[in-house]
Structure 1
Amino acid sequence: MTDWNHEVERIRQLRRDRTRIGPGEHPAVVVVDFQRAFTEHEFVGPSTPVALKHSQQLLEAARAAGVPVIYLVMILDSLDDRMLAQRVRSSLTERCERGNPWTEISTAVPAQPGDHIVEKTVASGFFRTRLHDLLQELGVDEVVMIGTSTSGCVRATVTDAAYLNYRISVVEECCDDFRTLSGEVSLWDMQDRFADVVSLEWMLERFARA
C-alpha cells in the first residue's frame, strides 16, 4: 500500500532539488481566478484565506516595484461556452455567467488602477484570450503565477505559458487548491516540466531590489 505522506515528502524534496530555469528581466504577475466563485465556495478550507493574504502582500510589492499586474477572470456569456466536461459535470463555473456577483474579484486582493483584467472561458488564461498579446505589448518575458486552483487553472495557464516560451515563476504560498493532494502533485509537475516553483520570501526580496 502506498504511503501518501511519504510520497508527498518525496515530491517536495524532488521539487527542491530540480534544476531551476531562472527568472526573466521583465516580469508580470498573473493572478488566476481569485474570484468569489473560487475563493468563497462551500469547499474552501483554511488554506484559502492564507493564500489570499500572502497574495495581497506580493501584489503590493509588485506594484511598488513597477511590475505589471494582470488578473485572469472566468466570465461566461453563456454556460454553454464552457468546455464539455464542465457542462456535463457539476462545476463552480456554473457561477461565472456575466453579471453574477460570484464573478467579482475577491475583496482580499482587489484590482488597483493600472492593473489589467483579462477575461477567459476555460482553465487556461491563454486560450482564445488577449493575454499573450498583452504580455507582448508590455514587453514581458516572465510570468509570476499566483491564484487558484493550483491543479486546475493555474497549472493550465502555466502549461500554455511554457509552450509560448515564457519564463515562469509559481509562488507557492500564493497558490491555493482545496484538493490538497492535487495541489501538491501539481506543484511538483510544474517544477519538473514547465516552471520554477519559488517562495514568497524570495519573490518579495527580488521585487524589493527592483
Structure 2
Amino acid sequence: MNEYTSPEFSSSALLTIDLQRDFVADIAGTSEVLPTVRRLTHAFRQAGRPIVHIVRLYLPDGSNADLCRRTLRDKVNPHSPGSQLADGLAPEGKLDPELLLAGHAQEIGPDEHILYKPRWSAFFRTRLLEHLAERAVSTVVVAGCNYPNCPRSTLVDATERDLRTVAVRDALSGWTADADRELPGMGIACLDTNEIIPALRSHAASSIDGLAADHRDRCAS
C-alpha cells in the first residue's frame, strides 16, 4: 500500500455481495462468514459510513442472467424468500424487485441501500459508481459471497475506477491463499475484520472530535 492505494476509512463504504438466503444456503463457506459480515455492517452503521448490499435477481425464464447461470431458474427469483437478504444482515424489510430491476437503489436505513447487479461485478451496468461519488466515497470495503466470482470482479472493477479497495479476508466466502498473493499487486488491501473495525472507530471518533472543536470555535467567536 502507498499514498495512492492505502484505505481511507474516513471516506469508506461497505459493499456486501450476494448475501441472500439462497446463496447462503447453497454456497460453501458463506454461512460461516455471515456472522463476521454482520459485525462489519454494524461497525459501518455505528461509524455513520455508507453501506450498499449488492444482490442478484434471476427472472424465472433466466433471461437476465449470465449465460452460465441461465439454468439456475429456481434461485433468487423476484419476490421469493430465497432472494431476500441473509437473516440479521440488514434492517427488516423485503426487497423491492421492480425498483431494483429498474436500476434504482432501495433505501433500507440511514445511508444503507440495496442495489441489483445483472452480472459478476457490482459496477457493471449499475449506478454504483455514481452512488459512491455522491457520498464522496474514496474507499470500498468488500465482503460477501463468493470470492472467486462476484467479489473478485467487483474488487478489480473498483481499482479500474480509481477507488481505494479493501478485500475482507474473513468476511468473504471462497477466500484463497492465491488472493493474498495476487490482489496486493493491483493495489487491493487484504485485511481482516479485526483490523478494519478499530480503524473505522478511530476515524469516527476523530470526526466527532473535529465537529465538537468546530462547534466550540463558532460559539467562542
Decide: shared fold, TM above 0.5.
Answer: yes
Large movers: runs of 4+ above 6 Å: none
Aligned to 2:50: 68
Is the contact made by 2:25 and 2:31 (CA closer than 8 Å) also made in structure 1?
Answer: no
Deviation at 1:189, TM superposition (A): 2.4
CA distance in 1, matches of 2:160, 2:187: 9
The correspondence of residues 1-210 of structure 1 with structure 2, limited to 5 A, is 19=1, 21-24=5-8, 25-41=10-26, 43-44=27-28, 47-77=29-59, 78-87=61-70, 91=72, 94-111=74-91, 113-114=109-110, 115-177=112-174, 183-209=176-202, 210=204
> Secondary structure, in 3 states, of the residue corresponding to 1:23?
coil
Q: How many pairs were matched up?
A: 182
Larger Rg: 1 or 2? 2
Deviation at 1:161, TM superposition (A): 0.6
> Secondary structure, in 3 states, of the residue corresponding to 2:143?
strand
Q: Which runs of 5+ in 1 are unaligned?
A: 1-18
Is the contact made by 2:123 and 2:129 (CA closer than 8 Å) also made in structure 1?
Answer: yes
State the superposition RMSD in angstroms.
1.9
Is the contact made by 2:30 and 2:144 (CA closer than 8 Å) also made in structure 1?
Answer: no
Identity fraction in percent: 23
1:113-141: CA deviation from partner (whole Å, max 9, x where unpaired)? 22111011111101111111100111101
1:69-110: CA deviation from partner (whole Å, max 9, x where unpaired)? 1100001345111122223xx55x751221222111000312
Q: Which runs of 5+ in 2 are unaligned?
A: 92-107, 205-221
1:20-73: CA deviation from partner (whole Å, max 9, x where unpaired)? 6311241000011111121111x53xx433311111111111110111111000
Q: Quick check: 100-109 or 124-133, which moved more?
A: 100-109
